[in-house]
């Protein structure tokens, strides 16, 4: 869904950039001008330019059936190297203490298992293995599944959330509300899967909606609910760091490395395809990027 929304955004922007001409009337040179303008005038990051290129490759290859050739002379966006924002354990404790439920439980799961906010909010009941203290993340970034730990501190609140959710699920079943987001192939095989408890969201939305077929459905809690609550808690704490929900994932990785965890293990838990992505957390450890002591401390 997120990829689809991003591709639609870039395709629309590409069409508007060229005076609303149809993409069939545009070619590789027009794609090159658009992407170069993003880098030169827009000064976007390299990852943003790559995302726009991926959207246009999909447009021409999968939609229009005329794949783009390799584009020579493209002005690349400047690739910046940044150090992720990381909270101390004391700051994490203070942040969690100021969050209301169920946002607090979401934040605990994100920090306790390195989850992205979208992965946390889209969790279904069947993805939780409380006995093994494990969370199974389905179809994460890049379409990969992975397993991550369920922190002991989350268990009591999670079990309470599931008890409340089961009562809400039964109420929804009585009035014919179904869950959304299931693959069409799964629904063809199991027609009532979207009306069963294992497929229910752990964090369901407070309101239902009517889909295109006229069925009443319930989505998961919207990301802005969590984001706004975290932003308010950060303001209340007076933190000067730029803290978002993703900062909890950065803090999870950094604190694991500080406690002596192997970087390959952290890579697996985060779901990174390249260990170089995980290596950026070695630059924010308490002992410093190279494990050296500042000469100022010896004065």
**Contact of 234 with 243, CB cutoff 8 Å:** yes
**187: how many CB neighbours lie within 10 A of its CB?**
13
For this structure, is 281 an active site residue? yes
- Which one of 32, 133, 141, 147 is the catalytic residue? 141
Residue ranges in 18-154 assigned as alpha helix (H): 28-40, 46-58, 89-97, 103-113, 117-121
For this structure, is 116 an active site residue? yes
- Which one of 18, 98, 222, 246 is the catalytic residue? 246
**178: how many CB neighbours lie within 10 A of its CB?**
21
- Which one of 7, 60, 104, 116 is the catalytic residue? 116
For this structure, is 141 an active site residue? yes
Long-range Cβ contact pairs of 259-263 (< 8 A, separation 24 or more): none
For this structure, is 246 an active site residue? yes
Q: Is 32 helix (H, G, I), strand (E, B) or coil?
A: helix
- Which one of 161, 218, 249, 255 is the catalytic residue? 249
**Angle (deg, nearest 10), helices 223-237 and 89-97:** 110
For this structure, is 207 an active site residue? no
Q: Active-site residues: which are they? A: 116, 141, 246, 249, 272, 281
């Amino acid at each position: 869904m997120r990829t689809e929304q991003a591709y639609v955004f870039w395709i629309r922007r590409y069409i508007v950039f060229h005076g609303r001409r149809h993409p069939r009337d545009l070619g590789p040179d027009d794609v090159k001008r658009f992407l170069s303008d993003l880098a030169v005038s827009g000064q976007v990051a390299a990852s943003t330019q790559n995302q726009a290129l991926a959207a246009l490759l999909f447009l021409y290859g999968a939609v229009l059936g005329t794949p783009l050739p390799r584009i020579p002379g493209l002005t690349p966006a400047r690739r910046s190297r940044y150090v992720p924002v990381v909270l101390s354990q004391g700051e994490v404790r203070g942040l969690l203490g100021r969050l209301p439920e169920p946002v607090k439980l979401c934040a605990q799961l994100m920090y306790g298992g390195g989850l992205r906010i979208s992965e946390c909010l889209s969790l279904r009941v069947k993805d939780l293995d409380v006995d093994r203290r494990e969370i199974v993340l389905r179809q994460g970034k890049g379409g990969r599944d992975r397993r991550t730990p369920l922190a002991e501190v989350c268990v009591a609140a999670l079990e309470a959330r599931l008890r409340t959710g089961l009562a809400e699920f039964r109420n929804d079943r009585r009035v014919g509300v179904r869950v959304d987001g299931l693959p069409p192939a799964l629904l063809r095989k199991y027609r009532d899967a979207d009306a069963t408890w294992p497929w229910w969201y752990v964090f369901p939305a407070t309101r239902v909606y009517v889909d295109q077929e006229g069925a009443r459905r319930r989505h998961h809690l919207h990301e802005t609910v969590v984001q706004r609550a975290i932003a308010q808690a950060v303001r209340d704490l007076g933190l000067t760091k730029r803290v978002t929900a993703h900062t909890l994932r950065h803090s999870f990785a950094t604190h694991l490395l500080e406690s002596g965890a192997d970087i390959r293990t952290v890579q697996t838990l985060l779901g990174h395809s390249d260990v170089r992505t995980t290596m950026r957390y070695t630059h924010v450890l308490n002992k410093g990027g190279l494990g050296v002591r500042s000469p100022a401390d010896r004065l």
